[in-house]
Amino acid sequence: MMGDPRLGPVPWRADETPRSRWATRALLLAAVAVSVWYFAWLLQPARVGTPVLYGLLVAAELFNLVQASGFWWTASRDAPRRPPQPLPVTRDVDVLIPVYGESVEIVEPTIAAATRMRGARVHVALLDDGDDPAMRAMAFRHGVRYVQRREHQGAKAGNINHALDVTSSPYVMVLDCDHVPRPEFLERTMGLFGDSKVALVQTPQCYANARDGGIAASAWAQQALFFGTIARGKDALGAMFCAGTNVVLRRRALEQVGGFPEDSLTEDFKLSIGLHEAGWRTAYVPEVLALGLGPQDMASYVGQQLRWSRGCLAGIGTAMKARLPLRVRLQYLLSSMFFLSGWTVLIYMTLPVVRMLTGAQPLAAAHADQFLLHFAPYFCLALGAVARAGRGSYTFGGFALAATNWWVHVLSSLRALTRRPAQFVVTPKQAGSSWQPRAVWPSLVAVCVLVGAACYALVQSRSPSALNNAAFAALHVTILLMGAAPALRPRRRPSACVATEPVRRPVAAHGVRAS
């Protein structure tokens, strides 16, 4: 699978040598030391300029410090070394593949590969919420079960819960319809269920179309950071959660917590909280065992991020109320609160604009010229620590894409505060129009404001303060335009459907196919 020339190599590695691990920890310690130096300078009363602006700056910096501290805490832990476990004696697995409006071209490679997995008796079920006759015919060709339901409620969670009612294997595997599993997927994961308290075994989500560049590559850089260092650390802390696909679950655990929650946009996240609260454990296998498709255009990425951020922000209250060990609760809160980071980007962009247009600034004039001296090492080491912990997979493109979509976090948090209802939207698996300025219009407006304010300030004065704030504005503009670029230029080439090998069309009776 990994050598398929259509896919190219997977740009990610999960292992780390002891020497490399110590180098990462040394960089993290250096980042901590520089952070202490920066905040010791920033938080002195003499630094206060305009109180409101100073308060906004300190709030943004403290939020980022909490997130950075949480990242350093997580990244400093390594996944537990689990000895090889024998496969369970009873290892029938229902492989559930929910679909809703996707094309047969996208889904068929996943179905074909799922029937060829080793290590268990697999019972593949295609859960079609789109009631597509072409899907029914394809399921028949591959000899897998075709499942429909009369009432399409609860989106993906409801679709899976309905399938749980009509299947019976002691283990359940969930695959998104574009994630093609390797034959050894179950061989690598089922042994961990030898621990009777393990409720789920999660594996990475890997975007095979990252090699095409653009949005998919930048989105994969973000995913690779999470499924590398962060997921391994969460596993070590007993706080790894279900990521919605490429996961195997124990049916008994699912039944105990009532199945997948249907009242959340991130049903996998809320399910994990319920499992941990019920005393179950989770496990993570840091090995790419399936390849899928990441968002291929900006509109798809924005839709995905809106759903994730809205669901995870709603999960803050759930995590706060749940009866969880402190370390597990903190891990859930850190993951949820990440989707507030767009507010800090908005604050950082606003401060130089206010200074250039009104003269008000967060820091006292006598100390403003020292800010860059203290901030730059802190900022650069923090980014360096993330890049190092990401083992080369986290790119500037991933950082710029996240910064450009700052408004997604702002919008999601406002909707969460006002309790506006949200709708589950499936991430498109194929690219739409290459010209998508509407998907980045808030950042384009921010670029215009930053450029306009800088031009106004430089016309009025060439003072060091004006030049300093214009430089900060230029930095923001550069990052925003780099992140928005994929929505403002044609795609170089279309991405092909992900398949691990030519699809074989077996002639089999309609029903369950066992490998």
**Six-digit token string for 13:** 């590695």
Return the number of other C-beta atoms located less than 10 Å from residue 76's C-beta: 16
Q: Could you give the percent of the chain with pLDDT greater than 90?
A: 60
Q: What is the DSSP letter of 168?
A: -
Tell me the C-alpha distance between 283 and 309, whole Å.
24
**CA dist list (Å): 161 to 136, 156, 165, 261, 267:** 20, 9, 7, 9, 11
Mean pLDDT of 205-230: 89
Q: From the CA atom positions of the chain, what is the Rg in Å?
A: 24
- Per-residue model confidence as pLDDT tens digits over 272-325: 999 999 999 999 999 999 999 999 899 999 999 999 999 899 889 889 999 999
Q: 165: pLDDT confidence band, cut at 50, 70 and 90?
A: very high
Of 3-12, 95-104, 214-223, the one with minimum mean pLDDT is 3-12
Dihedral angle computed from the Cα positions of residues 8, 14, 19 and 20, in that order, rounded to the nearest 10 degrees: 70
Mean pLDDT of 154-177: 95
Does 509 score more than 80 pLDDT? Answer: no
Return the number of other C-beta atoms located less than 10 Å from residue 421's C-beta: 5
Exposed, middle or buried by CB within 10 Å (0-12, 13-18, 19+), for 358? exposed
102 neighbors 178 (Cβ within 8 angstroms):
yes
Closest CA to 335 of 355, 361, 314: 314
Does 213 score more than 90 pLDDT? Answer: no
Q: What is the pTM of this model?
A: 0.86
With the C-alpha atoms ordered 187, 228, 308, 306, is the resulting torsion angle positive or negative? negative
Exposed, middle or buried by CB within 10 Å (0-12, 13-18, 19+), for 67? middle
Closest CA to 251 of 117, 84, 123, 109: 123
Does 508 score more than 50 pLDDT? Answer: no
Tell me the C-alpha distance between 34 and 478, whole Å.
26
Closest CA to 319 of 335, 298, 341: 335
Please enumerate in sequence order all residues whose Cβ is within 8 A of that of 377, keeping only pairs 6 or more positions apart, or say none: 34, 37, 38
Of 118-127, 208-217, 469-478, the one with minimum mean pLDDT is 208-217
Does 240 score more than 70 pLDDT? Answer: yes
The angle subtended at Cα 306 by Cα 11 and Cα 259, nearest 5°, is 85
Of 90-99, 242-251, 333-342, 500-509, the one with minimum mean pLDDT is 500-509
Does 490 score more than 80 pLDDT? Answer: no
Return the number of other C-beta atoms located less than 10 Å from residue 405's C-beta: 26
143 neighbors 510 (Cβ within 8 angstroms):
yes
Which amino acid is it at 344? T
Does 31 score more than 70 pLDDT? Answer: yes
294 neighbors 204 (Cβ within 8 angstroms):
no
DSSP letters, 401-451, are: HHHHTHHHHHHHHHHHHTT------PPPSS---S--GGGGHHHHHHHHHHH
Q: 394: pLDDT confidence band, cut at 50, 70 and 90?
A: confident
**Six-digit token string for 26:** 């040394």
508 neighbors 142 (Cβ within 8 angstroms):
yes
Of 208-222, 335-349, 371-385, 482-496, the one with minimum mean pLDDT is 482-496
Q: Which residue has the tokens 């089999």?
A: 508
Domains in the chain (CATH in brackets) are 1-502 (3.90.550.10)
pLDDT in the model for residue 393: 77
Closest CA to 100 of 148, 164, 167: 148
What rounded mean pLDDT belongs to the chain? Answer: 86
Please enumerate in sequence order all residues whose Cβ is within 8 A of that of 475, keeping only pairs 6 or more positions apart, or say none: none
- Per-residue model confidence as pLDDT tens digits over 396-447: 899 999 999 999 999 999 998 887 765 545 555 555 556 888 999 999 999 9
